[in-house]
Amino acid sequence: MIRPLHVLLLLFIVLLSGCSGDNSSETVEKTPSDMMQTVPKEKSYGSVYDYFEEFTGENLKTSVLQIKKSDNSVELTLRILLSDSLKEKMMHTEKTIYFTFGDLPGNETIKNLLAESPSLVQIELNSKENLYTVSQKLKLKENLTEADKQALLSPANYRFQVINEEELSVASFMGLENSLLPEDNQK
Amino acid sequence: MNIKKLSIATVLVSSLVVSGAGSAFAASQGETIKIGSLTIVERVYENPVEYDFTKALAKSDLNKIGPLGNDMTGTVYEMSTKDLYKSKSYEAEIENDSDENDSFSRKVTRKTFLTGKIGGSGETKVNWRIIEGKVGIHAEISFGKEDTIETTHTWVIPKRTITTVEYGSKAVKTTGNLVKYFQGRVKDSNYVNVKYSYKEYSSKKSKNL
């Protein structure tokens, strides 16, 4: 015979499980750490080489290369405009991305005028900015001729390189004597 | 919007070029591609065009000095000719008839070549080093960093210009003899006729429309 007590107990248990079900849908005050866990994990890349094909003129627009010469050095400055998609990838790349300037492929024009190889450059990306400035200082040999100085001051002699963690160039941008920035191409 | 057109232009050209230049058996093309504000004619040279020859043999190179050392035994490369030249494998003629600068992007694969006769078989690697040592030209890493095996190159194409972008290799052609000495006497001599590339190069020339 089913005792009323058993029924009561069963009902009680059912009610309790019902309650615990309700608990999961109750509003629980979320702490900041809980909030972060609910944000979906962004796709991340190991190396900038994973998406090297995306370093095209559409996604990275270069300004005219600014070249300032001091006594024994030259300061190169380039403004670059990153597309949202490329910037996102760069911000979610594990291994370091470097930048540098270099001779045009196969040339040694600038190399022959330098006292030493320059250090690679890094830039700090943020979600708000798309326009960044990359600067690099080159140390010059002594006793350069006028022709040497002219070569140094000519943006057409340089390329801008995106460098991976192995210090190899995954993308080059050339023709730095003309600007691709929209602001410089207004009629 | 112009920007959208540009984006399609760059992506399409890159992939088109890859399918052409990436294949070892790609035939020379020459078709016109019109994308956005750019009109592009590409040529891929299956047999690279060799040009710009310069004789580079120094007087000192002609000295026939046997191997140094107490026993005067070893192999030397006695060089007769040394010519530097360029080997063009790809060019693109890009017309930008708009009032805005545009860009042309291309996936580039590093290619170096070595052809020719190096002398007795079974010793190719050692012979090669001897020849390269005598010729004195080695692949170098210049200012800037060496490209990865596959890399992307982007060229700014100025407004209202026809711009020619060229890719190829700087190369050396050398002839001579690999001579084996034993105690100062010639033991063996093999004719050498070798071409090798030592550096990739590319260049751009723009002409106003």
How many folded domains does chain B comprise? 1
Interface contact A179-B199, CB threshold 8 A: no
Residue B72 pLDDT: 86
pLDDT at A187: 63
pLDDT of A10: 63
Nearest partner of B93 among B48, B44, B20, B46, judged by Cα: B44
Number of other residues whose CB lies within 10 A of the CB of residue A120 = 15
CB B195 within 8 A of CB B173: yes
Question: Which of B11, B19, B142 would best serve as a mutation to test chain A binding (most A beta carbons within 10 A)?
Answer: B142
String of DSSP letters for B126-192: HHHHHHHHHHT------SS-PEEEEEEEEEEE-TTEEEEEEEEEEEEEEEEEEEEEETTEEEEEEEE
pLDDT of A140 reads 96
> Dihedral sign, CA of B165, B168, B169, B175?
negative
Alpha-carbon distance of A123 to A98, in angstroms, equals 8
* Calpha distance B170→B174 (Å, rounded): 14
Q: Do A62 and B156 touch (CB under 8 A)?
A: yes
Task: List the one residue out of B9, B2, B59 whose CA is nearest residue B33.
Answer: B9
Which range marks the domain in which residue B27 is found? Answer: 2-208
Report the candidate in B20, B53, B21, B16 with the shortest Cα–Cα distance to residue B38.
Answer: B16
Q: Which residue among A100, A168, A180 places its CB closest to the CB of B148?
A: A168
pLDDT number for residue B98: 95
Q: What is the structure's pLDDT at B6? A: 34
pLDDT at B149: 74
Candidates A71, A139, A147, A72; CA nearest to A111 is A139
User: In chain A, which residues have their Cβ closer than 8 Å to the Cβ of B155?
Assistant: 174-175
pLDDT of residue B15: 34
Q: What is the pTM for the complete model shown?
A: 0.72
> Hey, is the C-beta of B115 within 8 angstroms of any chain A C-beta?
no
C-alpha span between B126 and B150 (Å, rounded): 29
Hey, what's the torsion of the CAs at B73, B75, B81, B87, to 10 degrees? -160
Domains of chain A in sequence order: 48-184 (2.60.40)
Distance from CA of A165 to the nearest CA of B (A): 11
Name residues whose C-beta falls within 8 Å of residue B81's C-beta, 6 or more positions apart in sequence: B55, B57, B173, B174, B175, B176
What span, in angstroms and rounded, lies between the C-alpha atoms of B61 and A80? Answer: 48
Measured CA to CA, the distance from residue A77 to residue A62 in angstroms comes to 11
Which stretches of chain B drop beneath a pLDDT of 70?
1-28, 63-68, 110-114, 118-125, 139-146, 148
The DSSP code for A59 is T
Count CB atoms within 10 A of the CB of residue B21: 22
Distance of residue B119 Cα from the nearest chain A Cα, in angstroms: 29
Cβ–Cβ gap B147/A110 under 8 Å:
no
State the pLDDT at residue A112: 93
Q: How far apart are CA A180 and CA B9, in angstroms?
A: 15
Nearest CA in chain A to B169: A106
Q: Which of A105, A163, A182 sits opposite B202 (nearest CB)?
A: A105
Please give the full DSSP string across B111-132, using - where no structure is assigned: ---EEEE-SSTT-HHHHHHHHH
- What are the pLDDT tens digits along chain A (187 aa)? 656 676 666 665 656 555 544 444 444 555 545 455 544 556 799 999 999 999 999 999 999 999 999 989 999 999 999 999 999 999 999 999 999 999 998 888 999 999 999 999 999 999 999 999 999 999 999 999 999 999 999 999 999 999 999 999 999 999 999 999 999 987 6
**Closest partner CB to A56 (pick from B10, B158, B170):** B10
Chain A to chain B, count of Cβ pairs less than 8 Å apart? 134
- What pLDDT shows up at residue B140? 47
User: Minimal CA–CA distance to B110: which of B43, B197, B12?
Assistant: B197
Q: Where are the beta strands (DSSP E) in chain A?
A: 60-62, 66-69, 73-82, 98-103, 131-139, 158-163, 169-174
